[in-house]
Each structure stands twice: as structure tokens, then as C-alpha cells.
Structure 1
Amino acid sequence: MRVDSLRTASGPTISWRVIECWGAGISLFVQAGAFLPLVLSDADGALSDSARSILRLPCLPIYAFTAVILIRNFPQFLTALRRNLIVPLMLALPFLSTLWSIEPPTTLRRAIGLLFCVLLSYVLAIRFTPRQLLFLVFVTLGTCIALSVVISVVSPSLASMPDGAMRGVFIHKNVLGWYASLMILVATAVLIDGTFGLRRTALVLLAAGVICLASSGSMTAIIATSVAFCLIGFYSLLQRSSSIGRVVIVLFFVQLSLGILISLHEFLVPALEALGKDATLTGRVPLWELVDREISDRWMLGYGYQVFWTVENPEATHIWLLLGWAAPHAHNGYRDILLNFGIIGMILFVLMVPYAIRQGGFLQCHDPQYGWLWLNVLTIMIVVMNLTESIFFVQNDAIFILFTTAIIMFSLYAPVVSVSHSPSWQAPKRALTSGLQTS
């Protein structure tokens, strides 16, 4: 018999649902890297080896919470695995890469951390609806952004980078920019949804997000926020259109996106030079040129998961010497996938993401009452962020956890909604198939 509550020694009972909600919220807050890394870092936001060791300790209770919840909901977990086999394959790649990794122990240790992060994504996907997850993220990110504003007033020196840019409760201004961008999206989604009764709170946190975004000066986050509002309009229009109209809208949006990307590739650097701005994108352009050479040397399988940017790797050391600064990653999530797993990993990733975007669009059109809008926008926002930052497959990172959660949730719900929208003569057969899959 299943027990749905815990009784403490003094008598009161605690429901498992309360444990799930609090555990998930605290897990996301810790994985966001708020406050504790800032306390342990130096003035430039760098972390020593001892500080990194300390930061691993709060992850252990999160791993335990994740394991307990998945064990309690093991049938649903298996269903989520079966409905999207590419995610488990991508999760297996870091472990397989130990076979060719240039530093197998490091690859294995970091692969274990990534494993529990993705397992937490499964917890969020199977135990929360899109609207429930929206509220959870709203509270968690709202806490981070509100604390960032407070600490910038109380202790400006602690909340600022050496160059004066605001970093809030995070170790770097870019990280604050990312979460401020997500906060703006989430607060806007709460305002659009209108079912939470938190309009004033959402407006306050939206304003706080805008302040943090502007004060951080993160261009990646500013661009991602602009893309988010364009996507909100796109998905809202897509939902209200007929089937033929949706095809036209999607084709127009794809062509527009490709046109913008081609224009940026051809004209961005000359435009920046004409305006007197940094045409190297803060050192990213020369970094990418050097990284591309290293990718070509191991284009098939890469160097192994999360081991290229280590002091033990002479290729990374050579890049750092040429650049004059120690890049922690390629500042491009797609290049880091190639460094980690080669073309094999990129093929799996390219199969996974567009299919998830398609499923998300289908759910937005056919099941909008569940609140799919923000997850669709979030997914593409993170895809855009990785053009100049590296967030894909980063262990103990809340943004990648939410990205993976969205992909899993799309694949979990899309088959069910597809059955409900099948022609009447096909519905009994598809319903039976769905029932066998979930049994």
C-alpha cells in the first residue's frame, strides 16, 4: 500500500506533494548557483579548487531527493524514458566518452553530475504540469532576482564586478543576465496566464528582472529577451491560426530566422567596427577560430565530456596563451558539443532539439490550456543563448535542467494529445497503443 504522507515524531504529517514542491524549488535554487558561490569566490568571480569542493556538498541532498522521487514514481519515469529515447542516448554519451577521453576520471566524475541533473529534469517533467512548473520557476527565480536587487543596495561592492557591472547574488554579470532574462519571460508568462492571481507580484519581479538585465550589461541575455518577446507573438499567432495558416506562419518565421542569421554572419562584424564597438564580441571571434581548429583534429568523437577546458589539456593551454586569457569554455554551446562528443553527439542533438520544438508547437496549438507557451519560448531562448555562451550539457546548472525538462515534458504529453486529436476511426486503436506504452 502506498504511503502518501510522512508522520514526524511530534505527530504532524507531511505530504509527499509538499516534499516534492519544496525539494524541487530548493534544488533549482541551489543549481542556479545563487549566493553560496558568490560568498566563496574572489573579487573577479573565480573559484578555487577548495571552493569547488565545498560547492559539491549541497548537491548531494539534491541527488538523494531526485533518487527518492524517481523510485516512488518509477512507472512514470519508465514511460518518460520510452517516449523520448534520444534523451537517454545523449545522457549515455558522456559515460561512453570515457573510452576515448583524454582525462577519463574527470569525464566520469562530471558525467555522474550530469546524470543526476537530467534525472532531476525527469522529476520536474513527470511530477509537475507546465503551469505548476511555471509557478515553481516563478518563485525560485523571483527569489534570486529579488535578492540580487536587495544585495546591490545593501552591499554594492559585493554585488558588482570589478568593472562596475551588476552581478547580484551570482558570481558573474553574465549569469545574472541569463537569469534576469528568464525572469522576464516567466513574469510575462504569469501575467499572460492570469490564473495565479499574482499580477502585482509578477509586475514587481518583471521590473526587477529588467533592472538586473540592464545593469548586468549581458548582450547575450538582452538578445535572448528580445527573441523571447518575438516568440511570444509567434506562438500566440500560431495558436489562433488555422492549419494552413500555421504552415505559412512557420515557413515565414523559419525564413526570417535564417535571413537574420545570414545577415549577422555577413554584416555584424563590419557594423560593430563602424560603430566603434568590440568587433571580436569580447574575444569570442578569435576564440572560435582557435576552437574550430581543435574540433577538426577530433571531429568524429571529440575529446571526451568536459575535459577539453582543463589545465591538463595542452591544446586548451595553447589556446589560453594565444588569447591571453583563460576561456572556461568555447562561449558557444554547439562548439562545446563538438569538443565533447564530436559529430556523433551533434547528430543526436540535432535530432533531439528540432523534434522537441515541433512537439512543443503542436502542444501549444492543440492543448493551450495547459500553459505550454512559456516552455516553448524557453526552449528556443536557450538555443539562442548558446550561440555566444555554453549552457548545453553543463552539470549542476538550472538553465540546462529546465531546457531538458521542457524536452522531456513535450515528448511525455505530445502522444496523449495526439491521440485525443486523432480522427474518430483511429482514436480507439491509438488509445490502446498509448495504454500499452504507459502500462
Structure 2
Amino acid sequence: MRVDSLTSASGPTISWRAIECWGAGISLFVQAGAVLPLFLADADGALSDSARSILRVPCFPVYLFTIVILVRHFPQFILAIKRNFIVPLIVAAPFLSTLWSIDPTTSLRRAIGLLFCLLLSYVLAIRFTPRQLLFLLFATLGTCIVFSVVISVVSPSLATMPDGAMRGVFIHKNVLGWYASLTILVATAVLIDGTLGLRRTAFTLLAAALICLASSGSMTAIIATSVAYCLIGFYTLLQRSSSIGRVVIVLLFIQLSLGILISLHEFLVPALEALGKDATLTGRVPLWELVDRKISDRWMLGYGYQAFWTVTNPEATHIWLMLGWAAPHAHNGYRDILLSFGVMGMVPFSLMLPQAIRQGASLQCHDPQYGWLWLNVLTIMILVMNLTESIFFVQNDAIFILFAAAIIMFSLYAPVVSMKRSPPLQAPSHDLTSGLQIS
């Protein structure tokens, strides 16, 4: 007989659903890198080797929680794997890359961390509906943003970068910007949804996130937020249109997106120069030129998972000397995939994205009552963020965990919804808000 609760010797009972909800929320908070890294980092947000060792410790309870939940719901886990074989293939890629990695030890160690992060994505996908995951993020990211505002008032020196930009409870202003952008999306989704009864709290959280976004000065996050609101309009219009209308809307959206990308490629640098702004995108343009040369040197298999940007790699050292600053990554997620896995790794990733976007859009059109809108927007937001930042395949990172969870959830629900127009899995018997209560 299945045990659905735990009872202590003194009598109180804790339901497994409460453990799942609290465990998932705490896991995302830990993987977001809030609070603790701030106290271990220096003024510039850099972490020493000893600090990084300390930060690995809180990850172990997260890994344990992930394993326990997946073991309890192993059939659902296997079903999620069967419905999207590309995700397991991507999980295997970092381990396979150790065979040709220039630093096999580093690649293997980081591959293990990535494996557990993707397992957490499976937990989120199989144990939470889109609306429940929205509430979970509303509470988790909201806590990070509120703490950021509070600490900026209580201890401005701690919550501010040397250049005066706000970083809140995170180690860098850009990270605050990313999570402020995601919080704006989540708060807006709660306001649009209306079923959670948190409109007043959502307005407050939206205002706090906007303050954090503006104070961080992260252009990547500002652009991603602008894209998010455009996408909300696009998916809403897509859902309300007829079949033929949807085809027209998608074609127009694709043409508009391509036009914007071409315009940015041709006119962005001259426009920045005319406005007196940094035309190198804070050093990214010369970095990308150097990185592209290194990619072409090992275009087939790459240098091994996250093995390129290490102090033992002379190729990375050469780039740092040429730039005059130590870039921690390529500041472009797509280029970092090529550095790690080459074309052989980019191909399955490129095949996975269109399928996920198509499945997400189909769910939004045919099964909107489950709250798919924000997950669709989140997926493309992260794709946009990776144009100037590296978030793909980052271990112990909440944003990539959510990105993978969205893709897994799309593939898990889409086949059954397309055939029966009904949910593929029985939704958890307890609502998330009730699951947070300990009886």
C-alpha cells in the first residue's frame, strides 16, 4: 500500500505533497544563487575556489530531494523520457564529451552537476501543472526580489556593484536583471490568469521587479522583458484565432522576427555609435570574433563540456590576453554549445527547439485552461537571453532548469492533448497552495 504521508513520533503528519512543494521551491531558491553567494563573493561578484566549494554543499540536499521524488514517481519519469528522447540525448552529451575533452576531469565533474539539474527539471515537469509551477515561481522568485529590495535599503553597499548598479541578493547586476525579468513575466501571468487570487500581491511584486530591473541596468534583461510582452500578445492572439488565422499570424510573426534580427545585425552598431553608446556591447563583439575562430578550429566535436573557459586552457588564456579581461564564457549560449560539443551537439539541440515551440503553441491553442501562456513566453525569453549571455547547459542554474522543465512538460502533455484534447497525466490531487500546508 502506498504511503502518502510521514508521521513523526510525536504525532504531526507531513504529506508527501507538502514535501514536493516545499522541496521544489527551496531547490529553485538554492539553484538561483541568491543570498549565500553574495556573502562569499568579493565586491566585483567573483568567487574564489574555496567559496565555490562551500556553495556546492547546499546542492547535495537538492540532489537527494530530486532522487527521492523521481524514485517515488518512477513510471511518470520513464514516460517523460519516452516522450522526448532528445533531452536524454542532450544529458548524455556532456558525459560523452569527456572522451575528447581537453580537460576530462572538469567536464565529468560539471556533467554530473548538470545531470542532477536536469533530473530536477523532470521533477518539476511531472509533479506540477503549468499553473502550479507558476505559483511556485511566484513565491520563490518573489522572495528573491523582495529580499533584493530590502537589502538595497538596509545595506546599500552590499547590494550595489562597484559601478553603482544594483545587484540585490545576487552576486552580479546581470543576474538580478535576469531574475527580475522572469519575475515580471510571472507576476504578469498571475494577473492575466486571475485564478490564483493574488492580484494585489502580483501588482506589488511587479512593481518591485521593475525597480530591480531598472536599477540593475542589464540590457539583456530589459530586452528579454520587452520581448516577453510582445510574446504575450502574440500567443494570446494565436489562441483566439481560427486555424487559418493562426497560420497567417505565425508567418507574420516569423517575418517580423527575421526583419528585426537583420536590422539589428546591420544597424545596431552604427546606431549605438551615433548615440554615444558602447558599440562593442560591453566587449562582446570582439569576444565573439575571437570565439568564432576557436569554434572553427574544432567545429565537429568542440573542446569538451565547459572545458574551454578554464585557466589550464591556453586557447582561453590567449583570448583573455587579447581582450584584456577574463571572460567567464562566450556571452552567447549558442556559441558555448559549439565550444563544448561542436556541430554534433548543436544538431540535436536545434532539432529540439522547433519541436518544443510547436508543441507549446499547440497546447496554448488547444488546452489554454492549464495556463500554458507563461511557459511558452518563458521558453523564448530564455532563447533571447542566450543571444548575449550563456545560460544553456549551465549546471546548478535555476533558469536552465526551468527552460528544460518547460520543454519536458510540452513533450509530456502535447501527444495526448493533440489526440484527446485532455490532460495526459492525472493532475496532482492537491492544489499547490494546500500542498504547502503541513497537517
Alignment TM-score, normalising by the size of structure 2: 0.96
- Where structure 2 has 5 or more consecutive residues not aligned to the other structure, the ranges are 426-439
Q: Report the residue type matching 1:305 in the other structure.
A: Y
Q: Counterpart in 2 of 1:133?
A: 133
Structure 2 residue 291 is the aligned partner of structure 1 residue 291: yes
Aligned twin of 1:334: 334
Corresponding position of 2:384: 384
CA distance in 1, matches of 2:60, 2:296: 37
Q: Which amino acid aligns with 1:276?
A: G
- Tell me the distance in 1 between the aligned counterparts of 2:126 and 2:238: 27
In structure 1, how many angstroms separate the alpha carbons of the residues matched to 2:275 and 2:192? 37
| DSSP-derived class of the 1:341 partner | helix
Q: Is the 8 A contact 2:94 2:107 kept in 1?
A: yes
Letter in 2 for 1:356: A
Q: Secondary structure at the match of 1:336?
A: helix
CA–CA distance in 1 between the matches of 2:409 and 2:259? Answer: 30
The equivalent of 1:34 in structure 2 is: 34
Counterpart CA distance in 1 for 2:253 and 2:394 is 29
CA distance in 2, matches of 1:36, 1:366: 42
Deviation digits for residues 162-191 of structure 1, max 9, x if unmatched? 000000000000000000000000000000
**Count of paired positions:** 425
User: Which amino acid is the alignment partner of residue 115 of structure 2?
Assistant: L
Aligned residue for 1:270?
Answer: 270
Whichever residue aligns with residue 296 of structure 2, its letter is S
Alignment of 1:10-409 (within 5 A): 10-409=10-409
Aligned partners of 2:355, 2:36: CA distance in 1, in Å?
37
Question: What is the letter of the counterpart of residue 289 of structure 1?
Answer: E
| AA at the equivalent of 2:10 | S
1:334 CA drift (Å): 0.2
Q: 1:286-306: per-residue Cα shift (whole Å, max 9, x none)?
A: 000000000000000000001
Q: Which residue of 2 aligns with 1:426?
A: none
Amino acid at match of 2:298: R
> SS of the counterpart of 1:205?
helix
The answer for the alignment partner of 2:419 in structure 1 is 419
Q: C-alpha offsets along residues 141-182 of structure 1, whole Å, 9 cap, x if unaligned? A: 000000000000000000000000000000000000000000
Counterparts of 2:94 and 2:127, CA distance in 1: 26
Measured in 2, the distance between the counterparts of 1:348 and 1:175 equals 28
Residue 392 of structure 1: SS of its match in structure 2?
Answer: coil
**1:330 Cα shift?**
0.1
- Spell out, residue by residue over 1:184-241, the C-alpha distance to the aligned partner (whole angstroms, 9 max, x if none): 0000000000011100100000000000000000000000000000000000000000
Give 1:44's aligned amino acid.
Answer: D
Q: Report the secondary structure of 2:14's partner residue.
A: strand
Q: CA deviation at 1:421?
A: 4.4
Measured in 1, the distance between the counterparts of 2:349 and 2:136 equals 27
Q: Show the counterpart of 1:425.
A: none
Which structure would you say has the larger RCO, counting Cα contacts within 8 Å and 6 or more residues apart?
Answer: 2
Tell me the TM-score normalised to structure 1 length.
0.96
Distance 2:9 2:131 in 1: 34
User: Is contact 2:190-2:196 (8 Å) kept?
Assistant: yes
Name the CA distance, whole Å, in 1 between partners of 2:76 and 2:363.
20
- Distance (Å, rounded) in 1 between the aligned partners of 2:72 and 2:321: 51
Superposed displacement of residue 2, structure 1: 1.0
Q: Does the aligned pair in 1 maintain the 2:191–2:199 contact within 8 Å?
A: yes
> Which residue in 1 is equivalent to 2:433?
none
Paired with 2:358 and 2:223, the residues of 1 have a C-alpha distance of 23
Deviation at 1:420, TM superposition (A): 1.1
Relative to 1, partners in 2 of residues 1:334 and 1:421: Cα closer, same or farther, differing over 3 Å? same
Do 2:367 and 2:421's aligned partners in 1 also have CA atoms closer than 8 Å?
Answer: no
Read off the aligned partner of 2:331 and give its amino acid letter.
H
User: How far apart, CA to CA, are the structure 1 residues paired with 2:104 and 2:10?
Assistant: 49
SS at match of 2:6: strand
Question: 1:403 is matched by which residue type in structure 2?
Answer: F
Question: Which runs of 4 or more aligned residues in structure 1 lie more than 6 Å from their structure 2 counterparts after TM superposition?
Answer: none
Q: Verify the 8 A CA contact 2:37 2:55 in the aligned structure 1.
A: yes
**Separation (CA, whole Å) in 2 of partners of 1:40 and 1:421:** 50
Give the secondary structure class of the aligned counterpart of 1:182: helix
Q: Secondary structure at the match of 1:387?
A: coil
Per the TM alignment, residue 275 of structure 1 is displaced from its structure 2 partner at its CA by 0.8
Q: Supply the AA of the counterpart residue of 2:278.
A: D
SS of 1:168's equivalent in the other structure is coil
Instruction: Please name the residue that 1:427 is paired with.
Output: none
Within 1, Cα distance between the matches of 2:36 and 2:321?
31
In the alignment, the residues of structure 1 paired with residue 224 and residue 105 of structure 2 have an alpha-carbon distance, to the nearest angstrom, of: 35
Identity in percent = 85
Counterpart of 2:239, as a letter, is: Q
SS in 1 for 2:3: coil
How far 1:137 sits from its partner (Å)? 0.4
